[in-house]
């Protein structure tokens, strides 16, 4: 598995990481999910993404994966209101208490990257939440400070001297951050973790999406329909559902500045296929250009902002 340096953190991470959200939100069978993640770690994936707000996700890592702590770079997120912590969202207290809770739940000594989980630009600029994360770093509880979000807020965060990592949405139907955020991360040597990297499999009928993803993926499904582009248009003569995942993942990993793509899945076969797609390298320039043009044509006024 190809590795890339996660910006100025200096950490080498696999281009395909693993997003733990579906395991949490779809209430996947935990022993099976743990076996899947362990198998991915065995095959060279070395970045796991979780969050304080993913139900039971920290506890899952604590129970099944804490003994393999040296096998992966651990990324989590905090700052939102947490049940059981008597402090408002984005306060210094909620950030500090969330870091302590995360360490306890995951049964670990430190977190490699802790991100503020999608606060707005005004909250970022206010500085209270960010300062609390910086203090957690100074105390050795986290190793790097980052921000998860999109558009102008992510661009502002990427230029902040204390921020080493940005997590942002980039995919075939969510391209705004390519122009808004990636130039800033390249200038400041910031690591980029791409969330929603295969666009929540938006080529599928929405009724085939599982659980809450039926609502979550709806905007992307609509965008792809409006772009009106198919794998055949891109020169792939195969069943769309067979080739879209490969095209989507390679599109994301081809964008200059992207470090890793954290695809989420509860299906081990899909996880294995994603490893194979990630190893196929960048998409040809002409295919990337067609996908970029289809996006711009469908959204001529730039209204399709990066989605959280
Ligand atoms: N910071 C934030 O605010 C934020 C927001 C969203 C996501 N995230 C992070 O980013 C990660 C990824 O985002 P995501 O899970 O929303 O979206 P995604 O990775 O773009 O798409 C996941 C969907 O793709 C399907 N899939 C995966 N591999 C496939 C394959 N080879 N063929 C066909 N379908 C495939 C999965 O279904 P199956 O389970 O059936 O494979 C799942 O429905 C999350 O797990 C989370 O860690 C962070």
Low-confidence ranges of the chain (pLDDT < 50): none
User: What's the gap between Cα 29 and its chain centre?
Assistant: 22
Choice from 36, 249, 265 to test ligand 1 binding pocket (greatest atom count within 8 A of CB): 265
Cα–Cα distance for residue pair 22/17, rounded to 1 Å: 14
- Choose the residue to mutate in 15, 16, 22, 216 for probing ligand 1, maximizing ligand atoms within 8 Å of C-beta: 22
- Given a contact cutoff of 8 angstroms between Cβ atoms, the answer to whether 194 and 6 are in contact is no
Q: What class is the 3-298 domain?
A: alpha beta
Q: Which pair of structure tokens corresponds to residue 134?
A: 């910086």
Of 128, 123, 160, nearest to 145 by C-alpha is 160
Residue 155 has a pLDDT of 98
Expressed in angstroms and rounded, the spacing between residue 198 Cα and the centre of ligand 1 is: 7
Ramachandran angles phi, psi of 149, nearest 5°: 170, -165
**Residue ID of nearest Cα to ligand 1 atom 30:** 270
How far is the centre of ligand 1, averaged over its atoms, from the C-alpha of 200 (Å)?
A: 5
How far is Cα of residue 304 from the mean position of the Cα atoms in its chain?
A: 19
Give the Cβ contact number of residue 305 at 10 Å: 15
- Could you tell me the two tokens for 98? 């969330």
Domain residue spans in the chain?
3-298
Which ligand 1 atom is the nearest neighbour of the CA of 248? 20
From residue 32, alpha-carbon distances to 35, 38, 39, 89, 94 in Å are 5, 10, 11, 33, 32
Structure tokens, 284:
């040809």
Assigned token pair, 305: 């902002």
| Tokens encoding 155 | 């661009």
What 3-state DSSP class applies to 236?
A: coil
For residue 125, give every residue at least 6 positions away whose Cβ sits within 8 Å of its Cβ, in sequence order, or none: 156
List ligand 1's pocket residues with C-beta within 6 A. 19-22, 49, 77, 118, 148, 167, 195-201, 213, 245, 262-267, 270, 273-274, 308
Residue with CA at minimum distance from ligand 1 atom 48? 195
């Amino acid at each position: 598995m190809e590795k890339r340096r996660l910006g100025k953190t200096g950490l080498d991470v696999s281009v395909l990481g693993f997003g733990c959200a579906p395991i949490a939100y779809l209430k996947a069978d935990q022993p099976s999910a743990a076996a899947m993640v362990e198998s991915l770690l065995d095959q060279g994936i070395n970045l796991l993404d979780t969050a304080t707000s993913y139900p039971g996700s920290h506890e899952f890592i604590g129970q099944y994966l804490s003994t393999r702590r040296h096998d992966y770079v651990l990324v989590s997120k905090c700052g939102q209101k947490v049940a059981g912590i008597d402090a408002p969202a984005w306060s210094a207290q909620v950030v500090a208490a969330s870091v302590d809770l995360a360490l306890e739940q995951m049964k670990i000594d430190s977190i490699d990257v802790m991100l503020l989980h999608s606060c707005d630009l005004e909250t970022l600029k206010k500085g209270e939440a960010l300062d609390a994360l910086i203090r957690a770093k100074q105390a050795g509880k986290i190793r790097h400070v980052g921000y998860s979000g999109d558009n102008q807020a992510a661009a502002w965060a990427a230029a902040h001297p204390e921020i080493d990592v940005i997590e942002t949405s980039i995919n075939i139907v969510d391209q705004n951050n390519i122009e808004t955020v990636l130039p800033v991360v390249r200038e400041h040597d910031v690591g980029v973790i791409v969330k929603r990297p295969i666009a929540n499999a938006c080529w599928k009928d929405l009724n085939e999406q599982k659980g809450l993803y039926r609502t979550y993926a709806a905007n992307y499904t609509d965008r792809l329909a409006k772009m009106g582009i198919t794998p055949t248009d891109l020169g792939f003569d195969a069943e769309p559902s067979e080739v879209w995942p490969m095209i989507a993942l390679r599109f994301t990993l081809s964008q200059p500045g992207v470090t890793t793509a954290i695809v989420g899945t509860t299906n081990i076969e899909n996880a294995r296929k994603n490893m194979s797609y990630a190893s196929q390298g960048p998409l040809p320039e002409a295919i990337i250009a067609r996908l970029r043009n289809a996006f711009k044509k469908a959204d001529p006024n730039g209204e399709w902002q990066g989605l959280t």
